[in-house]
Amino acid sequence: MRPDTPADHVDHIAEAERMVRTAGLYPEDAEHLLLQAAAHLELAEDRERATTLYDRLLSSSSPAALENPHLVKALKAANLWEYGHEAEARAIIEGVRAAAPKDPAPWVIVAEALESHDELEAAQETFTQAVALLLAGDPEPRQGVHPVLFGRHRVRRMLGAPHDEWDTLADELHTAHTSASAAAPVSLDELHDPKRVWSLGSEDPAELRAEISRLQAELGSYREALSRPFPVAVLHWPAAELTELLTAYPALTSEYPSHEEHLATVETSLRELAASGTPNLGIVTATVPSYEAFAASEASSPSDASLLPQYATTLAARGRAVAWPPRGDEGCWCGSGRVYGECHGSDG
């Protein structure tokens, strides 16, 4: 992990020198230690010495001897550009793109280097090349690929490009990982709003204060959601969603023999929980896209029935649960259009 502590709280030069000494004592860990040392030097704005360490890694070992030579090259390029060596940085970036590494990290670094210097079109092309390579034959992206998808989404949002299937996938992954409440969700589109992105990079104190106030308000909503009693929630599939689920994943038919049985099971389960003294019961409504995104976030298949209760818990944690039972004169939770007392709330 690269250090990110501000220079006024850490003596980054001293830390870099310590790591360089340690690398001499433990050559088997030299790559990791020298990358850490170079990062400290960058934070101390001693970029020439950082470049010297990157060169030391690239020249003292054959590419095969380095664990991740493309990462070293990407970091060197980003550092070079920051102190005026744009032409050399561009050449290295093109070399990394031509090598097409299977590790997401070099792609993120070179694309963000382009983005930070307002080369948005080139950044989009780089992120897109990375996504095409890293998602080839892999419909469920591994965790390390998520920053590539999110970075691509951000740059395309800055360019005003319309959503495509990879932007939609980024949205779904973000939704699967966010724990914001339903009352104040922060979508990826909002997070990557160009005005918001620019304000975070602004030197205008008024703009920065406004964005800090907005972030504080969102944090307050998040804390409020966490402070609410956590509901024990049961998963409810509307008829159309259940049909789509079982068509795509027939292995789940044993869990849901029919929609009518599913609805009866939901009501029965909740009544049994209530009879046992379990408080704060709720129902969460499932959708197939949301469930598939959750399965992808767990690196599992939607056909795995053990994911279903975890999915319900995750939806409840995001504030998606509706309290059960409804009043007798309220609409039934099943969506039939009848009041609860004449539908699933009826003893009959």
pLDDT digits (tens, 9 = 90+) for 65-103: 788 899 999 999 999 999 999 999 999 999 999 999 999
**Predicted pLDDT at 346:** 83
pLDDT, tens digit (0-9, with 9 covering 90-100), for 40-70: 999 999 999 999 999 999 987 555 578 889 9
pLDDT of residue 101: 93
**Would you state the structure tokens that stand for residue 197, as one six-digit string?**
């992105």
| Range list of β-strands (E), 6-120 | none
| DSSP secondary structure, 229-241, as one string | PPPEEEEE--HHH
Q: What mean pLDDT is reported for the chain?
A: 84
pLDDT tens digit sequence for 140-182: 778 888 999 999 999 998 888 888 999 998 888 887 766 544 4
284 SS3 class? strand
Q: Taking residues 188-198, report their average pLDDT.
A: 70
- Distances in whole angstroms, Cα of residue 182 to Cα of each of 216, 282, 288: 17, 15, 18
Q: What are the sequence ranges of the domains in the chain?
A: 178-228, 229-342
- What was the pLDDT predicted at 300? 84
pLDDT level of residue 314 (50, 70, 90 thresholds): confident
First to last CA, the chain: 61
* pLDDT value at residue 347: 66
Residue 74 DSSP label: H
* Contact of 125 with 90, CB cutoff 8 Å: no
In a 13 Å sphere around the CA of 66, the CA atoms on its Cβ side amount to 21
pLDDT at residue 34, as a whole number: 92
- Taking alpha carbons only, the member of 285, 278, 275, 314 closest to residue 297 is 314
Contacts of 140 (CB under 8 A, 6+ apart): 295, 296, 299
- Residue 104, preceding bond cis, omega within 30 degrees? no
Q: Which of 121, 119, 63 is nearest to 95 (CA)?
A: 63
Greatest mean pLDDT among 3-12, 88-97, 113-122, 135-144 lies in 88-97
Q: Which of left, alpha, beta for 38 (phi over 0: left; psi -120 to 50: alpha)?
A: alpha
Q: Which residue has the tokens 């920065």?
A: 208
| Count of H-run helices and E-run strands, the chain | 16, 3
Contacts of 175 (CB under 8 A, 6+ apart): 187, 188, 290, 293
DSSP 254: G
Instruction: Indicate whether 8 pLDDT > 70.
Output: no
Q: Is pLDDT at 227 greater than 70 in this prediction? A: no
The C-alpha torsion from 330 through 336 and 341 to 347, rounded to 10°, is -150
**CA distance linking residue 12 with residue 235, whole number of Å:** 51
CB-count burial class (<10 Å; 0-12, 13-18, 19+) for 234: buried
Please give the order of strands across the beta sheet that includes 232-236: 232-236, 281-285, 322-323
For residue 6, pLDDT beyond 60: no
User: Can you tell me the mean pLDDT for 250-271?
Assistant: 94
